[in-house]
Amino acid sequence: MQLEDLSNIRDRVKSSRKMNRKLYNWNFRQLLSFIEYKAVTEGLKVVQVSPKYTSQSCSRCGHTEKGNRPNQSTFQCKACGYQANADFNASMNIAVAG
Ligand SMILES: [Zn+2]
């Protein structure tokens, strides 16, 4: 599953305002379940990878290092400098892994 598929999903649910608001308020786990559900209905396969691996792996360049996580909530890639919310980066890794 690629990032473009994720934005397509978001576009498709945009028609419903209520749904859209709901999507933005979802937490990480709910978002994951939604991605999996949509992937199944779209005939895509989402592969669950080790949370430990995804949390230390860069969703932009794929570099994996313990030092990519300076703290619990922040992800900062030592290789390319990509910085993001740690949960967001991890969810991107899980989405892309499929
Ligand atoms: Zn990187």
pLDDT of residue 4: 45
Single pTM value for the model: 0.48
Mean residue pLDDT of the chain comes to: 74
Residues whose CB is under 5 A from ligand 1 (ion)? 58, 60-61, 63, 77, 79-80, 82
- Is the separation of the CB atoms in 82 and 58 below 8 Å? yes
Bridge partners, residue 85, by sequence:
74
pLDDT in tens, 6-44: 555 555 554 555 655 555 666 767 777 777 777 777 776
Helix, strand or coil for residue 51? helix
Ligand 1 centre distance from Cα of residue 17 (Å) = 34
Nearest Cα residue to 4 out of 41, 37, 44: 44
pLDDT of residue 79: 96
Q: How far is CA 37 from CA 44, 50, 66, 86, 97, in A?
A: 10, 19, 31, 23, 16
pLDDT of residue 63: 93
Residue 98 scores a pLDDT above 60 = no
* Radius of gyration for the chain, computed over Cα atoms and rounded to the nearest angstrom: 14
Ligand 1 centre distance from Cα of residue 54 (Å) = 12
